[in-house]
Amino acid sequence: MIVLLIRASTLPGAAEGMKYFVYADFSRLKDAEVWYAAVTQCFFSLNVGFGNIITLASYNKFSHNINRDAFIITTLDTFTSLLSGVTIFGILGNLAYEMKISPSEVIAAGGGTALAFISYPDALSKFTFAPWLFAITFFVMLFVLGLGSLQGLHANLNGLIKEYLPYTPDWKIAGCSSIILFLVGLIYVTQGGQYALDLVDFFGGTFVIFVCAICEVFLIAYIYGVDRLCLDIEFMSKKKVAIYWRLTWGLLTPLLLILIFLYFIWTLKPITYGIDSLRLPLGLEIFGWSILAVTVIQLMGWFFYYLYANRKYPGIQKLTETFSFKTWGPEGRQRTEEWKKFLEEKNATQQGKRSMIPTKIKAIFLDPYKS
């Protein structure tokens, strides 16, 4: 990537493309689609909401330094995003120079997979020394990056299957899931594969993930409880959680996510593809919305299932039992006892202090370990 950046910087018109990249048009902040795209890009770049972070984190040591990991990962992600952004916009600026059009027109026509398979190869072909060598290196890099991303997402699926089939060898689970996903993915190499990719990316890769992320944040903040989450982190890391994170997890993040999502839905436009912005066939749009519907129906279905399973309890207790976390805790009897003792000490310390949250709501949502 650094080699490409150096080469892109020497191309005519690259400066205009880079200038377009760093130029800020603050009027676009009023556009909900911009905020939605920014949030979903963060989800995709950091793999937030896909489940693989939780799966991979389950292999960490109990006292693993998550603060350090979060800082390193987000910093490196920001750096690589800026590096790749400057590089690709330098290349697009060169294309705009050669085509005698503005960078915005090139970007509008060359998004998505065209960046990797058209823009970058075009820049590599202009290398004066061994362009074939750099082309091979670039596509090997793409292949390795793809394997890395796939490994994390695949581990999430295989881990879920392993929970239900604990005695099945790992290689059988990985092999069967890989074959099935390979067969499903063949649709992307057909003539209409690009349109199928755009459709699944819009609904499955962003829309569904956004909905799942909102549900996850609300469940953690208001069902499991920010107080309980902070106590868990304090018990594992031996450090108190700052008030900034409490406000972010409990107020700012849920509020911003739901506002962005609702405003985006309100201003949603028909899905289009291609340079001419052609609208997708009605059947494909229905299929895309069905992907989202399956996710939402499944979430609601499990909620009502557990609500029905606790039908023997009266009134509000039925709801509290549905969201009960009595069996939740750290692995190992000794550590569980230490954790319970830690919670008892914290609860005793907190008694008598005023809370911004009504007592009944706190009793339901923030004290799930109490019987």
Is 237 annotated as belonging to a binding site?
A: no
Measured distance CA(96)–CA(9) in Å, rounded: 14
Q: What is d(CA 77, CA 83) in angstroms, rounded to the nearest whole number?
A: 10
Question: Among candidates 200, 162, 131, which has minimal Cα distance to 59?
Answer: 162
Task: Please choose, from the candidates 170, 218, 219, 239, the residue with its C-alpha nearest in 3D space to the C-alpha of residue 328.
Answer: 219
45 is in an annotated binding site: yes
273 φ, ψ (degrees, to nearest 5): -145, 160
Q: What is the three-class DSSP state of 102?
A: coil
Question: For 370, which DSSP code?
Answer: -
Which is nearest to 124 in space by CA: 6, 289, 276? 6
Residues forming beta bridges with residue 282, ordered by sequence position: none
Q: Could you tell me where the beta strands, DSSP code E, fall in the chain?
A: 272-273, 278-279
Binding residues for Na(+): 45, 145, 149
Binding residues: 45, 145, 149
